[in-house]
Chain A
């Protein structure tokens, strides 16, 4: 479980995160949603240690990040898997090398053991006959699968995904969403997903936090996101034409 207590982060005079307190639960897909500029990415990067909040604490299963030594922080990072928005695969490496990279860097496994584990994970994300291809030879969806495989190869305790289905067609987006959800349950990891895609919310959102102007405006589950009377949430949810139509249909039924 990741606990965030009252974190604040500013860039120059602009306060981007304004005292956020929440928890991200283990074995669940926790979604951070909100409009562009609401502070989602800054919150995710603060959780990853890329940004350091000026105020507040972030703790990973009781370990407060800001109180850890450099070595402890480094160890903690080996427990984190990250899927970047643009996949961030290493261009010069093949799929196999990309996926095996964290093992090669941090595990004491032999090359044969690494290969076995890599093949297992590549099979898990349903990538077939792609081991020796370079990222530039793969489609966007396949690159996302490789990124997920690389993120989970070292058995992480925490999985972070930044807009995992941006730039993907709706079918592939659903496949990627479901893959993340399955992996979260299968490996019992704490997954935090940053998204503004309502389809993802409907597909995999178990715990949802909604940010607006750097504030936590609402939190709950996908079941009650449609029942809330929080204006900011409803205007975000029904900004999509599809959801507007669903609401109209529901109103007619009533």
Chain B
């Protein structure tokens, strides 16, 4: 029974995606909506992403340094480990999980509140394709999500360098050497491919939970929580599948 319910929800999600691209909203209106979503979703997330990335990058460098107790292991490994951790997993995947909480709950609660207060019904009655009006600008705005992840990668590595060098765990030369050691450019491509898919997940799953929610204010809160859980689960599963497909 539960399986049927999940399958029905998955089907409903894909039907929603189809409807998002139907009957487009007038471009002059859509343009404004896209800029507003870029501001709400991308620009407003810059601060928290920068803060978390910088300090987690620093912690990764310190933890690596503290675990390199064997004198035969070169110090440049601190830079190497920081780069690999930040670029391959921390920036694309874990920042996306954090964003599932920040952006996702914002998206679910704002669309859910519109549902509860009949604003979505008002759009439909006027003849507006409410899914296109509400969800499409979020998808387009999140095409800039890799930009946010790029900043996270840079600040994570910078945080690692500062913690390593100014904490006395390594020298700047060693750290930089580590950053350049066995650098595989495809890892950057892999990280950004993941990021783009996560962006689509971040825009659509919270929208789905907000759009189809039923009930009142309490249910908006519940929908936000459910949306966070499912967005995180789908991101983690997608991450596993993509890693298996692209890196092995």
CA distance A82 to B126 in the complex (A): 8
B119 at the interface (CB under 8 A from A): yes
> Which stretch in A25-33, A86-94, A117-125, A233-241 binds the other chain?
A86-94
* Contact A80 B23, beta carbon cutoff 8 Å: no
Chain B, Cβ-Cβ closest to A77: B127
Q: Which secondary structure characterizes the binding site on chain B? A: helix
CA distance A205 to B126 in the complex (A): 26
Chain A, Cβ-Cβ closest to B113: A91
Residue from A74, A84, A89 in contact with B127 in the complex, judged by beta carbons closer than 8 Å: A74
* Contact A86 B124, beta carbon cutoff 8 Å: no
Chain A residues with CB under 8 A of B122: 82, 84, 88, 90
Chain A residues with CB under 8 A of B128: 105
Given contacts A74-B127, A105-B128, contact A84 B121 (CB under 8 A): yes
* Contact B118 A88, beta carbon cutoff 8 Å: yes
* Contact A80 B118, beta carbon cutoff 8 Å: no
B25 at the interface (CB under 8 A from A): yes
Given contacts A104-B29, A105-B25, A105-B26, contact A78 B126 (CB under 8 A): yes
| Residue total for A at the interface (Cβ-Cβ under 8 A) | 25
Chain A residues with CB under 8 A of B126: 77-78, 80, 82, 101-102, 105-106
Cβ of B131 to closest chain A Cβ, rounded Å: 14
B218 at the interface (CB under 8 A from A): no
Contact with A along B120-145 (1 / 0, CB 8 A): 01101111100000000000000000
Q: Would you list which residues of chain B between 3 and 49 have a CB under 8 Å from chain A?
A: 23, 25-26, 28-29, 36
Chain B residues with CB under 8 A of A77: 125-127
Cβ of A191 to closest chain B Cβ, rounded Å: 15
Chain A residues with CB under 8 A of B119: 88-91
* Contact A80 B125, beta carbon cutoff 8 Å: yes
CA distance A106 to B28 in the complex (A): 11
Given contacts A50-B125, A78-B127, A105-B128, contact A86 B26 (CB under 8 A): no
* Contact A50 B121, beta carbon cutoff 8 Å: yes
Chain A, Cβ-Cβ closest to B133: A105
* Contact A50 B118, beta carbon cutoff 8 Å: no
B117 at the interface (CB under 8 A from A): yes
Given contacts A104-B29, A105-B29, contact A86 B117 (CB under 8 A): yes
A174 at the interface (CB under 8 A from B): no
Contact with B along A104-132 (1 / 0, CB 8 A): 11100000000000000000000000000
Residues of B within 8 A of A (CB): 23, 25-26, 28-29, 36, 113-114, 117-119, 121-122, 124-128
What are 20 A-to-B residue pairs whose CB atoms are below 8 Å? Answer: A48-B125, A74-B23, A75-B127, A76-B127, A80-B126, A82-B122, A82-B125, A84-B122, A86-B117, A88-B117, A88-B118, A88-B119, A88-B121, A91-B113, A91-B117, A101-B126, A102-B126, A104-B28, A105-B25, A106-B127
Further 5 A-B residue pairs, CB within 8 A, beyond A50-B124, A88-B121, A91-B119? A75-B127, A80-B125, A82-B125, A101-B126, A104-B26
